[in-house]
Structure 1
Amino acid sequence: MELAPPARLATAGPPEGAEWLAGLPELVAEVLARWELTPERVTAPGGRTSMLVLVGCADGGRAALKICAPWRPAALEEAALRRWDGLGAVRALRHDPAAGALLLERLHGETSLRSLPEAKATLEAVSVLRRLWVDPGAGHPFPTVAEHTAGRAAALRDGALAALDAEPLVESALAARDELLAGEPERLLLHGDFRQGAVLASDAERAPWLAVGPEPVVGERAYDLARLARDRLHDLVASPGAASITRRRVARLADSVELSAERLRGWALFRAVESAGRALSAGRRSEAEALLEFATWL
């Protein structure tokens, strides 16, 4: 079968990733052979930082082979999955850090929490997050939220959103980050990129829904909830009264885990604005504009 990178991955990487993309089919074939895996299909459209191949294993089982891009190291993802050990998240069965390869238990990739009505999806999402928020462990390899967001904050200061005339929002977002980091109350292991689409249906007896694709960081819970706060953004943009809906959503999410709504609002603001900067840099102007509109509602 053809092992070409799906279109989303092929067009999403930085310029320096072109060589890795060119050699990706050969890399995937090498890992498949070495781990005695039989490819079934490449998932599409796939993500922007990895390639996922559904596979059969030599023992008759089924799994998913994930090859992570160099700009999204597999070692950190594997370390987080190992720390969670299946509690709220998919399990890693094998790992080759040099190849960026993870062999994961098979979930139902076509069924995420986005398939549920919004209220039910939010309840399930918060339930999964509660299980993921654990102590990162002594000597852990995970960056802090401050470290993880430093480069993104610098990009905003350097004018990542200059083309959209968003300076007031950028200043507010950067001020919110500085204030939040100055008084960060927790140092827990976070998923880092948690949203409804990153929680998939599972046949595992331990849980019906499991998280995938972490971008693990250490910090406060409000940082994780901030990404969830803007879920189904396109539906939200199209809704009448979107601003009031957004503020109620933030309040409910904060209340559901007994957090400060103001801290959640601050992280939601920063994360929306910095995501807009990255979207604009990647040529996704309409996405950037939607994110900035969301930020104004906060």
Structure 2
Amino acid sequence: MPSADVIIPDELVRLVSRHVPDPGMPTGADWLDRLPALASAVLQEWDLELDGPPRHGYSALVLPVRSPRGRAVAKIVWPHTEGRDEHRALQLWNGRSAVRLLAADPARWAMLLERLDADRTLEQEAAGSALGELTATEDLGVLITALDRSAPPWADTLSDHLRELRTDLDVALAPASNAVAFPRRMLEEARALASDLLTDNGLDARLTHTDLHHGNVLWRPDPGEWVAIDASVLAAEPGWAFQPVLLNTWPALERATNLRQAVRRRLETLADVTGVDLDRARALAHLRLVRDALWELEAAEVDRMQVTRLVTVAKALAGR
């Protein structure tokens, strides 16, 4: 199949172009240049036929296809550390509460996945009413619990992640740092929390989907259930998965009479459903919020609105 048949969505080009590459991995521009030919090669070698317009995630091209195994999607990911083990996690979950993996080509960062209902997300289900919002948060808590496994040896660890974060925080707290607009007290609190957590020997015990939020949950029509997609995993603990849920469906938070209470209600619901200690959940969420804000400030094009949201949610969790 000629590469001209594979259309790369403009929005994917915009998103990937602003990503900061991990060491030893291609820039967004380099990967995008190779993507049409890469997608054509995957389609040809897996005997796939395009079956609809292309879709995309934050860092991946998603092509609806017909395959020898029926209707499916081919997913080709921009190489980055967080997405490296997606196929391994999907193999481990084996379709239980997660999208089913049909084939993988790790060298090309390509996967063949079951076709879910891409037009029915938990994000859409949550829109419109307070009841929908609460139910969606509970559904996410149920999925976090269902995906919980003992951490495999191949997974990166939260301990290593926190050591790197502590170093980044030291840089941000330095007098010459360009992160002067970031609340210093928040940085200091995050550093103290990271140091405290690193004394816990059980920090890396479980496999955690670190990007599980309303938009990364799709409907599986048969038998009729919500399942997780976009498996970005870490050897951590279930509470590390809460932060994306606190940020997603931002308009619902903005409409809330009291944003602070709305954020805390989400956290409390997740902690209750999963059995995670609330103070522990709050500490882990605070660390991730600060980390993501620092990452955003390093982007080629800083999304100031996203930084504001991250800081706003972190402030909502502060205190009692």
Same fold by TM (over 0.5)? yes
Query: Is structure 2 residue 152 aligned with structure 1 residue 120?
Result: no
**1:58 paired residue among 38, 46, 68:** 68
* Partner Cα distance (1:177, 1:121) in 2: 30
After superposition, residues 47-86 of structure 1 pair within 5 angstroms as 47-59=57-69, 61-72=70-81, 75-86=84-95
Q: Tell me which residue corresponds to 1:189.
A: 207
Inter-CA distance 74–162: structure 2 relative to 1 (3 Å threshold) = closer
Between stretches 96-105 and 239-248, larger displacement belongs to 239-248
Equivalent residue of 1:48, what SS? coil
Inter-CA distance 247–263: structure 2 relative to 1 (3 Å threshold) = same
Kindly report the root-mean-square deviation, in angstroms, between the aligned alpha carbons of the 2 structures. Answer: 2.2
Query: Is structure 2 residue 46 aligned with structure 1 residue 35?
Result: yes
**1:261 paired residue among 254, 273, 278:** 278
Structure 1 residue 31, shift from structure 2 partner: 0.7
Q: Tell me which residue corresponds to 1:135.
A: 150
Does the CA contact (< 8 Å) of 1:237 and 1:290 recur in 2? no
Q: What letter matches 1:120 in structure 2?
A: T
Inter-CA distance 156–135: structure 2 relative to 1 (3 Å threshold) = same
Does the CA contact (< 8 Å) of 1:74 and 1:97 recur in 2? no
Does the CA contact (< 8 Å) of 1:184 and 1:220 recur in 2? no
Residue-pair matches, total: 293
State the identity as a percent: 28
Does the CA contact (< 8 Å) of 1:193 and 1:227 recur in 2? yes
Inter-CA distance 168–244: structure 2 relative to 1 (3 Å threshold) = same
Equivalent residue of 1:244, what SS? helix
Inter-CA distance 158–43: structure 2 relative to 1 (3 Å threshold) = farther
* Partner Cα distance (2:44, 2:212) in 1: 33
Structure 1 residue 190, shift from structure 2 partner: 0.8
Deviations 1:129-178 (A, max 9, x none): 211001234xx310111223444443343238715232211111222222
Q: Tell me which residue corresponds to 2:303.
A: 284
Structure 1 residue 38, shift from structure 2 partner: 0.8
After superposition, residues 110-259 of structure 1 pair within 5 angstroms as 110-116=119-125, 117-137=132-152, 140-159=153-172, 162-183=179-200, 185=202, 187-205=205-223, 208-259=225-276
Q: What letter matches 1:142 in structure 2?
A: A
* Partner Cα distance (1:70, 1:79) in 2: 15
TM-score normalised by length of structure 2? 0.84
Deviations 1:263-291 (A, max 9, x none): 00001111111112222322111111111
**1:7 paired residue among 8, 11, 22:** 11
Does the CA contact (< 8 Å) of 2:61 and 2:75 recur in 1? yes
Does the CA contact (< 8 Å) of 1:6 and 1:42 recur in 2? no
Does the CA contact (< 8 Å) of 1:108 and 1:202 recur in 2? yes
Inter-CA distance 90–272: structure 2 relative to 1 (3 Å threshold) = same
Does the CA contact (< 8 Å) of 2:140 and 2:270 recur in 1? no
Deviations 1:25-78 (A, max 9, x none): 10000110111101234544x22321111111135x111111111214755111
Q: What letter matches 2:292 in structure 1?
A: S
* Partner Cα distance (1:209, 1:161) in 2: 42
Give unmatched runs, 5+ long, in structure 1. none
Q: Would you identify which runs of 4 or more consecutive aligned residues in structure 1 move more than 4 Å?
A: 72-75
* Partner Cα distance (2:138, 2:156) in 1: 28
